[in-house]
Amino acid sequence: MTNKINILLKSIRVIDPASGFDQISDVIVKGEKIFSLKKSNGKKINKCINSIIYDCNNLILCSGIVDTRVHLNGPTEESISKIQSIAAKSGVLKLVTLPNQNPVVDDATVVEYLYEKSKNKYMPEILTYGCATKQFNGTEITELGLMSEAGVLGFTDGIHCIQDSLVMRRVMSYASMLKKPVIQHAEDRSLAGLNKSTMTTVQGEMNESEISTRLGLVGIPSCAEVIIIERDLRIAKLTNAHYHISNVSTKESIEVLRKAKAQGLNVTCDTSPAYFCLNELELSSYNTAFKLSPPLRSEVDRLAIIDGIKDGTIDIISSDHHPRSKDTKILPFSSASTGAAGLETLLPLTLGLVHQGYMDISKAIKLITTNPSKIFKIENPKISEGSLASFIIFDPEKPYIINQEKLLSYPTPFNNRPVEGMNLASFIKGKIIYKHDDFRELKNE
């Protein structure tokens, strides 16, 4: 039965970076679609028959966030429903999972199973990359063509960097024919102390610097990232492949990528909030929430990442959502697991770039909605009359302090950090799938 109750969002600022639309509007949602989107007349709200009215003054409506780097424990109903609930709360309506799951996404049947299990008309959509090599062993290439037909967005070994240059060339050659990107976690594993062939090497724990020496932690040199990027860029040029680097974290990498883009290479990249909000000094407390991959870098690197976001060298901001169990994080730093949760803090930390004066809000929205959709060819509903009513509503200036105890995933490296900006409501096909108390209070009785 069709829902006969309309939803009127009164005096809300609608921003659509894809079309350049930015206007205070009155938006009417009818059924699954945006029935009307008109410039707000600013008049007092009057009761409308069969309408629920929300006074949305000072709020923003935009497309749902598209998060291109999310870790999923596996295609079980429990882990899928949990990640979808967290995403809905966070304003993420499309999320792309890495293939480092159980089972590993290195076969078309696993891709099809994941998509079938996660299919839900009124929940955030789960998409995935396919493994570039079997069991991400870095040597044996997977059936890229079959996984492409099954719907993967690209190929990557996820948190594992492909070390063998010939393997990388073959992966890029096939991916280029399939018109799919190759996504790389750029890290020379030998320099990082992660190469199994050198069993006497102590595993790297943080950025190599004077700080790591003082803390007595094993350092990973920043050049471990750019060495892989420079090699891969040459292979990408050779194969005409679309090459995408995830979690860029160093000044050297930004400089190399800036030059590559200027030369017209088909290269894109992303970073996550940890690398433009935090630096290596955070590890002085030995708090394992700050144990990430790549590791937190120097203040010089952090500022270079911000410059890269500002000038467009960095195309996307992703969450790098990698929740861990408390059991694996309460261990000594060297033994603790690597990674941290990120979905719930992606929006406010990205908006922090706006509040600090680095960019306007339209560009910030573009980095987490329009750009990832365009680069990875993810369909995202437009904000216009007749389009599906799938969007988010957020308060860009709502102040609060991130509290680990109130988050749905663990751990966050941003515990006790003051931020501004919160998702208040998530709509999918006209249905409100998440509603914050603040949004409920806007209802005009």
* Every domain of the chain and the residues it spans: 6-61+384-440, 76-375
Question: Does residue 201 have a pLDDT over 80?
Answer: no
Q: What's the pLDDT score for residue 194?
A: 73
Q: How confident is residue 199, by pLDDT bands cut at 50, 70 and 90? A: very low
Cβ(10)–Cβ(45) under 8 Å? Answer: yes
Q: What's the pLDDT score for residue 203?
A: 87
What is the rounded distance in angstroms from the CA atom of residue 228 to the CA atom of residue 355? 34
pLDDT digits (tens, 9 = 90+) for 341-392: 999 999 999 999 999 999 999 999 999 999 999 999 999 889 999 999 999 9
What is the rounded distance in angstroms from the CA atom of residue 55 to the CA atom of residue 95? 30
Q: What's the pLDDT score for residue 77?
A: 82
What CATH number labels 6-61+384-440? 2.30.40.10
Q: What's the pLDDT score for residue 317?
A: 98
- Given 67, 157, 315, 320, which residue is catalytic? 320
Strand partners, 316: 270
Rounded average pLDDT over 206-226? 97
pLDDT digits (tens, 9 = 90+) for 141-159: 999 999 999 999 999 999 9
Question: Does residue 319 have a pLDDT over 90?
Answer: yes
Q: What's the pLDDT score for residue 51?
A: 85
Domain pair 6-61+384-440 / 76-375, same fold: no
pLDDT digits (tens, 9 = 90+) for 24-45: 999 999 999 999 999 998 666 5
Cβ(141)–Cβ(170) under 8 Å? Answer: yes
Strand 418-428 to 431-435 pairing: antiparallel
Give the CATH H-level superfamily of domain 76-375. Metal-dependent hydrolases (3.20.20.140)
Q: Which of these, 272, 274, 248, lies nearest to 261 by C-alpha position?
A: 248
Q: What's the pLDDT score for residue 168?
A: 98
What is the rounded distance in angstroms from the CA atom of residue 295 to the CA atom of residue 283? 10
CA 144 to chain centre: 24
Q: What's the pLDDT score for residue 47?
A: 59
Q: Which two tokens stand for residue 217?
A: 């932690």
Give the list of residues 6+ apart from residue 127 with CB closer than 8 angstroms, or none: 94, 95, 96, 97, 151, 153, 378
| Strand order through the sheet with 267-271 | 130-131, 155-156, 182-184, 243-245, 267-271, 316-317
Question: Does residue 135 have a pLDDT over 80?
Answer: yes
**Is 164 known to be catalytic?**
no
Cβ(90)–Cβ(65) under 8 Å? Answer: yes
Q: What's the pLDDT score for residue 130?
A: 98
Phi, psi of 307 (to 5 degrees): -60, -40
Question: Does residue 1 have a pLDDT over 50?
Answer: no
Rounded average pLDDT over 60-81? 93
Q: How confident is residue 431, by pLDDT bands cut at 50, 70 and 90? A: very high
pTM for the full predicted model = 0.96
Phi, psi of 128 (to 5 degrees): -150, 160
pLDDT digits (tens, 9 = 90+) for 265-317: 999 999 999 999 999 999 999 999 999 999 999 999 999 999 999 999 999 99
Q: How confident is residue 78, by pLDDT bands cut at 50, 70 and 90? A: confident
Q: How confident is residue 200, by pLDDT bands cut at 50, 70 and 90? A: very low
Give the list of residues 6+ apart from residue 445 with CB closer than 8 angstroms, or none: none
Q: What's the pLDDT score for residue 173?
A: 98
Q: What's the pLDDT score for residue 346?
A: 98
Q: What's the pLDDT score for residue 2?
A: 46
Question: Does residue 198 have a pLDDT over 70?
Answer: no
